[in-house]
Chain A
Amino acid sequence: MTPSRKERQGRLASRAVQATFLIVLIVLWYLATTRWRVSPLLLPNPVTVLHNFWDILRTGEFIGDLRVTLTELAAAFAIAATSGVTVGYLISRSQYRIRVFEPLFAGIYSIPIILFLPLYVLFFGLGPASKIALGATISFFPITLNTIAGFGYVDKTFVVAARSMGASDYQLFRHVLMPAALPIILSGMRIGFTVALLSIIGSETIASLAGLGHRIVHLAEAMEMAPMFAYIVFVVAIAAILNMLVSALEARGRRP
């Protein structure tokens, strides 16, 4: 179906509004720093920020911090995904266990777990271990809850039909339970990944020795505004790329 002419014009108009909005924003930013003399300690010049951004990319000075953050993220997510799927699967095997554990996990998930960061720092120190542990804890809950939802609410008819056709336990799992649960588990993993990334950058901001969040705080405390803005742009871009990657993987995994 090709969009009608009117629809296409409407889309063009809204794109134009979006572009204008962004351009006005950047022009205002530029004018604020040059004409209206906003202190560069509050708002650095966009051109300087751009230069700093290129410098960061060119010199590769971001690699150390990026490696720390990504390693923490990978470890936290791996722990959360394996334990979350395992625990979720074990719970989902009986209606009784679902009724006992699901409200418990949902209740804990509604508490802002970032509150426990001081405890994690006390247990695991300021290094990467506390970030991995916190990130794993926070992303464990959406993954577990979605795994329970995925495996626990498979249509009974399918299970009975497969059984009556003589499916073994493995065949039932491979051909009935897994395909039914996978999309829900994958979206749980995507949510888990996003919250793990957020909580790791957050805990790096609050208390850490290295990592991208730490770098931003370090620059903020040194009042080096232009490099700090450049790093913020960099981290936002990294987060956007990671989220896009994960969404693409999720969409790919959903396809039967």
Chain B
Amino acid sequence: MTAANAWRRALRRPWVARIAVVVLLLALWEVAARWWVDPIFLSPPSRVFASLPAVFDTRGVPAALRVTFWELAVAFALSVVIGLAIGLAVGLKPFARKSFMPIILLLYGTPQVTILPLFILYFGIGPASKIAFGVSHGFFPIVMTIVAGVQNIKPILLTSARAMGASRWQTLRYVVFPHMIPSFFAGMRLAMTGVLLGVLLAELYVSTAGIGYFTTLFTQNFDPTRLLGLISVLAAMAIVLNEIVRRAEVHFGRWHTD
């Protein structure tokens, strides 16, 4: 009786209920995989979890994860640098913004995945093509948010800075940059999503050293246990990276209240 009551009270908290839902889904998956579904297609979560060490023991997988992680990191860093440069160049001058924003929006709207084979052709099947494709997905959101952030600076701030005799660099340093920070971090979060998508798409398309090679290998060998294990590791990597930029966004965006 009290146990049932305690349960009910605990379930009233949303996060407890949320965990209960996740556990329920895992249990359903476990039951389905054990008794209903052919084991060459799906394996139960308990076995996937138990096989994680085996995934890491597979020759080449740790190196592949390292390669993929580096591709993500380099692509993200390049996206930020390129996005910041283009964003500032286009955003700071109203004329440049009016001229080039439509072109950038047009490019952003096209499905870049159609030119994935071209990236492979130009940059080879190694990490360079993954990085380039990740950057092509990652820098657009940064350009967008930088331009929007620069545009939203109140003109009175710029005018008064200039009236007080601020040089061009001083205006940038003390007015433009601080006001750009919240939108810049929002852009970084979107860029991380884009970079993850781009790099993983390119990895899955063709890969010699990264994780794409192993997902293909496990799929072709009908080895769902190790495939699921590898995918969970990658999903965890994606969640951690997303969480880092999200935290950074909350942290650096909070001083700005208006």
A residues contacting B by CB (< 8 A) are 10-11, 13-14, 17-18, 21-22, 42, 96, 99-101, 103-104, 107, 110-112, 114-119, 121-123, 197-198, 201-202, 205-206, 212-213, 216-217, 220-221, 228, 232, 235-236, 239-240, 243
Contacts and interface: CB of A to CB of B under 8 A. Distances in A.
25 contacts: A10-B95, A17-B99, A18-B100, A18-B102, A21-B99, A100-B21, A112-B193, A114-B197, A115-B200, A115-B235, A116-B231, A118-B218, A118-B227, A121-B219, A122-B219, A202-B201, A205-B117, A206-B205, A213-B114, A217-B117, A220-B121, A236-B114, A239-B114, A240-B110, A243-B109
A191 to B, nearest CB: 13
B67 interface: no
Contacts of A239: 110-111, 114
B116 interface: yes
B17 A213 contact: no
Residue of B18, B41, B193, B228 contacting most chain A CB atoms (<10 Å): B18
Contact of B111 (A42, A112, A201): A201
Task: Name the prevailing secondary structure of the B interface residues.
Answer: helix
Contact of B17 (A100, A111, A216, A228): A100
A201 B112 CA distance: 10
A116 B100 CA distance: 37
Contacts of B103: 18, 21-22
Contacts of A216: 114, 117
A13 B113 CA distance: 33
B173 interface: no
Given A18-B102, A104-B21, A117-B204, A112 B114 contact: no
Contact of B22 (A96, A104, A115, A240): A104
Contacts of B109: 240, 243
Given A10-B95, A119-B231, 14 more contacts: A11-B98, A14-B99, A21-B103, A42-B121, A111-B235, A111-B242, A112-B200, A114-B197, A123-B41, A123-B42, A205-B113, A220-B118, A232-B115, A240-B109
Contacts of B110: 236, 239-240
Interface in B43-73: none
A119 B222 CA distance: 10
Contacts of B98: 10-11, 14
A103 B21 CA distance: 12
Contact of A202 (B22, B113, B224): B113
A119 B227 contact: yes
A213 B99 contact: no
B41 A122 contact: yes
B117 A101 contact: no
Contacts of A13: 95, 99
B165 interface: no
Q: 3 shortest A-B CB distances, which residue pairs?
A: A220-B117, A99-B14, A17-B99
B238 interface: yes
B18 to A, nearest CB: 5
A73 to B, nearest CB: 12
Nearest to B217: A118
Nearest to A235: B114
